[in-house]
Amino acid sequence: MFQNTTCSLCVINSRGEREPFSFWKVYRGARKVGASKDLAGRIAKTIEREILPDTKTSEIFKRVKSLLHKEFPAAALRFSLKEGMRKLGPTGFPFEKYIGEIFLKKGFRVRLNQNISGFCCRYEIDFLAQKDNSLIIGECKYRNLAGQRVELKAALSNYARFLDIKKGYSSRKSGKNLRLKSLLVTNTKFTSKTIRYCKCVGSDLLGWNYPRKKGLEYLIDTQKLYPITILPSFKKDLADVFASKRIMLAEDVLRLDIEEFAKENRVPVNRFKSLVQEARILLRED
């Protein structure tokens, strides 16, 4: 349902809500992926000139991506990050693997899908990430539809479980020297109530644009930890092939012997060659 927002030029966002078109949102989006001030300005002006009332933001996204691709292909690929993250599904397990790879790159020892005892119950944990005496108890909330948010109830259940796990570790000699932290991770955004609650209880969050200027997309961009699903030539039928080999990052494609890999998995080598070429553009390796 559209909201009755009054504006001279409204667009329809991913939640189906009417909102004013923002020249600066388009400009900042282009700048964020590496476009120059001049290119970002020209793209924003083109969009402002072309769009009609009630254009969907998804259509604006496609047009911005197309304009970026003409002059800066690497930026166009980075502009697809949110879309690439949604392709990690549909089950959420590939997202957990991907997050695990990010923590491995950051120097943590990572274990996925662990069953561990709390004080009262046993729980299945998406991932444990340990560095020195710090242990992160991680819960992943994957969303594959644009506009979805992680609601307060997810944070409530996650923190209640964390408290029981923490009490369980404290009761065992082996866990007394560990400093436990709760972390809720998502490929989308958190509601304001979720953020307010987690700030209050001291539970960490990692999601889209959160923490501010240190969110998941910032971590990915600054360390070039792009998911392989960001590459245009990646198709769903290759997901199991790569996941079975723990190849979750675009940079991992550049380390493959693609001739051998294609033969081993009975996939035409040209499909892997396209992925390698796109990864080089994305990571500026050529």
210 and 123 in a common domain: yes
What is the predicted pLDDT for the residue at 15? Answer: 84
196 and 102 in a common domain: yes
263 and 249 in a common domain: yes
Of 206, 223, 240, the residue that ends a domain is 223
Q: Is residue 3 part of a domain?
A: no
**pTM of this structure:** 0.87
Distance between start and end Cα atoms, the chain: 47
How many folded domains does the chain comprise? 3
Strand, helix or coil for residue 114: strand
213 and 95 in a common domain: yes
Strand partners, 135: 130, 180
Amino acid at 33: V
230 and 217 in a common domain: no
Q: Is residue 128 part of a domain?
A: yes
What is the predicted pLDDT for the residue at 52? Answer: 93
Q: Is residue 2 part of a domain?
A: no
Q: How far apart are CA 174 and CA 133, in angstroms?
A: 12
CATH number of the domain where residue 142 is located:
3.40.1350.10
Question: Domain range holding 42?
Answer: 10-79
Phi and psi for 116 in degrees, rounded to 5?
A: -130, 155
Of 59, 79, 99, the residue that ends a domain is 79
DSSP string, 118-148: -SS-EEEEEEEEEETTEEEEEEEE---STT-
90 and 213 in a common domain: yes
260 and 150 in a common domain: no
Q: Residue 129 class from Cβ within 10 Å (0-12 exposed, 13-18 middle, 19+ buried)?
A: buried
Longest dimension (CA), the chain: 66
Q: How far apart are CA 6 and CA 205, in angstroms?
A: 34
Matching residue, tokens 């992943």: 140
What is the predicted pLDDT for the residue at 243? Answer: 79
What is the predicted pLDDT for the residue at 1? Answer: 44
Q: How far apart are CA 210 and CA 216, in angstroms?
A: 7
What is the predicted pLDDT for the residue at 59? Answer: 95
Strand, helix or coil for residue 59: helix
219 and 90 in a common domain: yes
Per DSSP, which regions of 167-269 are E strands?
A: 179-186, 189-190, 204-206
Q: How far apart are CA 145 and CA 149, in angstroms?
A: 9
- Name every residue whose Cβ is closer than 8 Å to that of residue 219 and which is 6 or more positions away in sequence: 102, 206, 225
106 and 53 in a common domain: no
Q: Is residue 66 part of a domain?
A: yes
Q: Is residue 4 part of a domain?
A: no
- Mean pLDDT, 10 residues at a time, the chain of 286 residues: 65 90 95 95 96 94 96 94 86 84 93 94 96 96 89 98 94 78 96 98 96 92 93 86 85 92 89 93 77
219 and 94 in a common domain: yes
Among the listed residues 219, 273, 277, the one whose alpha carbon sits nearest the alpha carbon of residue 98: 219
Q: Is residue 90 part of a domain?
A: yes
Of 48, 79, 110, the residue that ends a domain is 79
109 and 22 in a common domain: no
Strand, helix or coil for residue 9: coil
Q: How far is CA 85 from the centre of its chain?
A: 5
215 and 125 in a common domain: yes
Phi and psi for 95 in degrees, rounded to 5?
A: -65, -40
Q: Is residue 188 part of a domain?
A: yes
What is the predicted pLDDT for the residue at 286? Answer: 45
- Name every residue whose Cβ is closer than 8 Å to that of residue 227 and which is 6 or more positions away in sequence: 84, 85, 87, 88, 98, 220, 248, 249, 250
Q: Is residue 52 part of a domain?
A: yes
